[in-house]
Amino acid sequence: MNIIVCIKQVPDTTEIKIDPVKNTLIREGVPSIMNPDDKGGLELALRMKDKYGANVTVITMGPPQADLILREAFAMGVDRAILLSDRKFAGADTLATSYALAGAIKTLDYDVIIAGRQAIDGDTAQVGPEMAEHLGLPQVSYVIDAEREKNGNFIVKKENEDSVQTLEVEGKCVLTVLASAFEARYMTVAGIVDAYDKEVEVWGADKLDVDENKLGLKGSPTKVWQSFPKQLKAPGEVFEVSEEEAVEIIVKKLKEKHLI
Amino acid sequence: MDFSYSKTEELFLQMIRSFAENEVKPLAAEVDEQERFPMETVKKMAKLGLMGIPVPRQYGGAGGTVQMYIMAVEELSRVCATTGVILSAHTSLCMAPILENGTEEQKMKYLPKLASGEWIGAFGLTEPNAGTDAAMQQTMAVDAGDKYILNGSKIFITNAAYADVFIVMAMTDKSKGTKGISAFIVEKGFKGFSIGKKELKMGIRGSATCELIFENCEVPKENLLGQLGKGFTIAMKTLDGGRIGIASQALGIAQGAMDETVKYTKERKQFGKSIAQFQNTQFQMADLKTKVEAARLLVRSAAWKKDKGLPYSADAAMAKLFAAETAMEVTTKAVQFHGGYGYTREYPVERMMRDAKITEIYEGTSEVQRMVIAGHLFK
């Protein structure tokens, strides 16, 4: 089996701060990490590799520094790593990103494509599903479990807000995965020692099966107009009252806001 | 000169920090409180290849460097000094002497199981009457044809109760003094070998420190490590390497206490502001931070020399001396910064201060380190 995992390098948003004057993210000194849901996807792929035997290829689109997460993927146990890096990809929104990734994947041999549900920097959850559309493949999002049947189909569990669906997917498909369902393994020491001896394949736009007009800024219908931090909600009101009075106050407040 | 971490080391640091934070730190207080050997952690470390970091691939190791190994000891000790010393004794005191002095057969027999973590290693030199004066060995090894018969005892042996393989020094010819000491590889199941009482210690309370007892213990001839009569040299060289490990452990404890103190002094408010805002706190912490960084450079420099195959005996002694005394100073002051809370087990600095003390004592006291350093200086 050949598995492709799409991963992204993101700033560790748990450590990110916002410039109070410019209202922009302060990226200096913020570590870059493998996006958590993508790492969950990689873990699912490696578990399939352990269970069924598979070749796992990771692919990312980004600047040369994104090499780091591919080395991490090597140290976790992947077999092949591809970095899509070209100025022509710059400024891509989710559509142009998913188009470039799909263009790369078209040139590869695969049985399943796994991606994280969403990246912690953009939170769109669009790239995986869009990629499936570009490739004309069935997709399951919010995946918390996946098993491969002997006939090549996948039995997939998908988490909804209040339920879990079990689906059977025929043949090749795209799965987008929740990090919470797949606690990622650590890199091994030997994997780390070997990680920089392996080759990361760097692909430019010319290697992809794409129309270059649909890449990067040119291929991006979405433009970010403004970014700003969310205003903090006002602090709540505190009433020091008896239980009965508390119930009355809560009911009154809810009625005021037309919630009940 | 390049003081930065290599790309491989950066990646390793990312892994070991996350492992220490998620797998080791949550157990540290419990392991100390219950004086419990954290076997579950050792098994997890084994799975990742941490029990054989600097051992070459052909002997089942990860093929890493001494530098990576000491980074692991530091990061583990930063959250749990017990876990740090388990790895240090296993790697520096058991696998290293086999790797450096063993025959090909011995290496093939012992290293793969040790490096994979299936077996745990230990080292026995200290005796009731042979501490700093290690030459006064009373454990005897008598040649009995195809085997040696060992009689005597060893004390304060790290990992002892859980170890499978021990490097043991014993006197093969008392008339020759230190040149009559030989080294042996002793397995847990050898006839006549048993583990004695477990010490109740001030710190590193999860590491099983016990007595080794040899009562007509039969050690096969092929388990002599190195040449007959070279045991004292092997022990001293082993301890040179071990000191880099203990220096890293001390460094980790110091760093851990720094981390806790920075966090606490920023949160704790007295006289209307955080105590981190007082210049007394800032100046003292600045001095401590400087010492911790100086210790780190000494430790990394000693490890770098060992990786390069350069002489490192004095460097290891300086690293251990300085890192251990820094650990003691940082942890003592960390408790002071925490005030009454620091004296309680609610905060980890209480444990760290107890853990730090041993680094000034084992694998050569600070006084021994000064002797070693002066010995190189005035030779």
> What tens digit of pLDDT does each residue of A231-247 get?
667 778 888 899 999 99
Give chain A positions within 8 Å (CB) of B63: 190, 193
Give me the amino acid identity at A193.
Answer: V
Residue A57 contacts residue A23 (beta carbons within 8 Å): no
pLDDT in tens, B95-124: 999 999 999 999 999 999 999 999 999 999
User: Is the pLDDT assigned to residue B67 strictly greater than 70?
Assistant: yes
Q: Which residues of B touch A186 (CB under 8 A)?
A: 15, 18-19, 48
Mean pLDDT confidence for B322-341: 98
The pLDDT tens digits of the residues spanning A144-155 come to 999 999 999 999
Instruction: Tell me the average pLDDT across A211-216.
Output: 93
Q: Is the CB of A195 less than 8 angstroms away from the CB of B8?
A: yes
- In this complex, is the C-beta atom of A93 within 8 Å of any C-beta atom belonging to chain B? no
Minimum distance, in Å, between the CA of residue A186 and any CA atom of chain B: 6
Residue B158 has pLDDT above 80, yes or no: yes
**Mean pLDDT value across residues B337-356:** 97
Beta carbons of B14 and A186 less than 8 Å apart: no
Residue B350 in this model has a pLDDT that exceeds 80 = yes
Instruction: Give the model confidence (pLDDT) of A127-178 as tens digits.
Output: 999 999 999 999 999 999 999 999 999 999 999 999 999 999 998 999 999 9
Residue A63 has pLDDT above 70, yes or no: yes
Q: Which of B75, B127, B325, B363 is catalytic?
A: B363
- Quote the ipTM score: 0.94
Percent of chain A's residues with pLDDT above 70 = 96
Assess whether B363 carries a catalytic annotation: yes
B340-350: average pLDDT: 97
Alpha helix segments (H runs only) across B59-204: 66-79, 81-88, 96-101, 104-115
Average pLDDT over residues B263-277: 96
A188: closest chain B residue by CA: B48
A-proximal residues of B, 52-91, CB under 8 Å? 52-53, 57, 62-64, 68
pLDDT of residue A34: 96
Distance of CA A225 to the CA centre of its chain: 23
Closest chain A residue to the Cα of B20, Cα to Cα: A186
Angle between helix axes A36-52 and A67-76 (nearest 10 degrees) is: 30
The per-residue pLDDT for A24 is 65
Q: Please tell me the distance from the alpha carbon of residue A4 to that of residue A109, in angstroms, as a whole number.
A: 9
pLDDT value, residue A83: 98
Taking the CA of residue B70 and the nearest CA in chain A, the distance in Å comes to 13
Distance from CA of A196 to the nearest CA of B (A): 7
Q: Do B8 and A190 make contact, defined as CB atoms within 8 angstroms?
A: no
- Indicate the pTM of the whole model: 0.92
pLDDT above 90 (res B20): yes
**Would you say residue A25 has pLDDT above 70?**
no
pLDDT value for B338: 98
Q: Which of B7, B15, B62 sits opposite A186 (nearest CB)?
A: B15
Nearest Cβ partner of B63 from A68, A187, A190? Answer: A190
DSSP class of residue B346 equals T
Instruction: Tell me, yes or no, if A186 comes closer than 8 A to chain B by beta carbon.
Output: yes
Name the pairing type of β-strands A80-84 and A55-61. Answer: parallel
Radius of gyration from C-alpha coordinates of chain B:
21
Q: How long a stretch of residues is chain B?
A: 379
Q: Which residues of B touch A184 (CB under 8 A)?
A: none
Q: Report yes or no: B31 and B208 within 8 Å, Cβ to Cβ.
A: no
A110 CB-near residues (< 8 Å, 6+ apart): A2, A3, A4, A57, A172
Q: Give the pLDDT band (50/70/90) at residue A21.
A: confident
pLDDT at position A23 is 64
Distance from CA of B155 to the nearest CA of A (A): 33
Mean pLDDT value of segment A185-211: 97
B250 pLDDT above the threshold of 90? yes
Q: Which of A185, A187, A189 to mutate to test the interface with B (most CBs of B within 10 A)?
A: A189
Portion 197-256 of A in contact with B at CB < 8 A: none
